[in-house]
Amino acid sequence: MALGSKERFKIEFQRCVDRALFPFTAVYAIVWLRVVNRFKIPNIKEIRRKFAELESQGTGPLLICGNHLTLVDTVIKEWALTSNARYLRRFSLFPWSLPEKKNFANHWFWKVAAYLGKCIYIVRKGPPEETKLVLDKVKYLLERGEAVSIFPEGGRSRVGRVDTENFAYGTGKIIQSVANPRVLCVFLRGKHQREYTDFPMRGEEFYVDIEMIHPRSPHKGLRADRDLATQVIQKLAEMEKRFFEVVRPEWHMPERNESSPALM
């Protein structure tokens, strides 16, 4: 179903506010990332060059799918992919995100940050009508040429690695909802990140890798949702495996933590 005019207005209004205040938001984010937390991404130049190249090769809706271990993965991904100057020039590249409402709506600061950071809250295990409204918003944004960033695992991985068993299929539903989608898989890993946490440790060094895929499925409906979501998860798992076996074998892949509760 198409998004109603009221919801479209709310999104467009938020986009205008976010665009107008982006220079301030961006400076704040950079200070928080680089000065307060002293985060580092040694291969950031290579990733930005690769992203510019991959992004320029197509025109379809851009869905950014990353692995998920901390609450600030989105901000780090945004920092890694391109410069704030480029986001300012092409604000549609600065992705919309779908944070869990209970994590980011419990304090005025997070509410403001989420609003200014192009966020749309989602309630995990929420009523189907609410989830559907969020999916309609995502479809609207993707068709409008806005990048959208999601976590296909459906939450922070409880097993310390890309969770290939307990992932949600909403990613597949989103991919199915638009024509010719491009899916940018982003693998992000902090050197000291052993399992899921709220925040990475101060001074953390991140490795980032990206790959563009174009998932397709011969199936329809729920079966296609599962098939498409599985393709994305498998790509992320493959990137993770390559990272720990070839790129940074000295970082050691953590054992799959089976004792952690599965995502609900």
Distances (CA, A) of 66 to 124, 166, 183: 17, 15, 10
Least distance (Å) from another protein to the CB of residue 170? Answer: 9
Segment near another protein (CB under 8 A); pick from 58-66, 81-89, 107-115, 256-264: 256-264
Q: Minimum distance from CB of 158 to another protein (Å)?
A: 11
Does 1 bind another protein (CB under 8 A)? Our answer is no
Applying CB under 8 A, does 2 fall inside the site for another protein?
A: no
Q: Order of strands, edge to edge, in the sheet holding 96-97?
A: 96-97, 148-150, 62-66, 182-190, 206-213
Q: Which residues contact 12 (CB under 8 A, 6 or more apart)?
A: none
Cα dist from 178 to 97, 122, 134, 141, 144, whole Å: 17, 20, 14, 10, 11
Interface with another protein includes 73 (CB under 8 A)? Answer: no
Closest to another protein by CB, 85 vs 128, is 128
152: left (phi over 0), alpha (psi -120 to 50) or beta: alpha
Contact call for residue 223 and another protein (CB under 8 A): yes
Residue 169 is a binding residue for another protein (CB under 8 A): yes
Q: Please state the closest distance from residue 256 (CB atom) to another protein, in A.
A: 16
Task: Reduce the secondary structure of 4-26 to three states and give it as a string.
Answer: CHHHHHHHHHHHHHHHHHHHHHH
Q: Using CB under 8 A, pick the residue from 61, 225, 236, 239 that binds another protein.
A: 225
Instruction: Tell me the sheet residues that pair with 64.
Output: 149, 184
Which of the ranges 85-93, 113-121, 222-230, 241-249 carries the binding residues for another protein, by CB under 8 A?
222-230
Nearest to another protein of 169, 187 (CB atom): 169
- Rounded-to-integer distance, Cα 192 and Cα 169, Å: 29
The amino acid that residue 131 corresponds to is T
Is residue 148 within 8 A of residue 27, CB to CB? The reply is no
User: What character string, x for contact with another protein (CB under 8 A) and - otherwise, covers 94-133?
Assistant: -------------------------------x--x-----
Contact (CB, 8 A) for 236 and 152: yes
Query: Which of 40, 191, 226, 241 forms a contact with another protein (CB under 8 A)?
Result: 226
Contact call for residue 217 and another protein (CB under 8 A): no
Contact letters for another protein, residues 129-168 (x by CB under 8 A): -------------------------x-----------xxx
Using rule CB under 8 A, residue 196 touches another protein: no
Burial of 13 (0-12, 13-18, 19+ CB in 10 A): exposed
- Chain residues binding another protein by CB under 8 A are 125, 128, 154, 166-169, 221-223, 225-226, 262-264
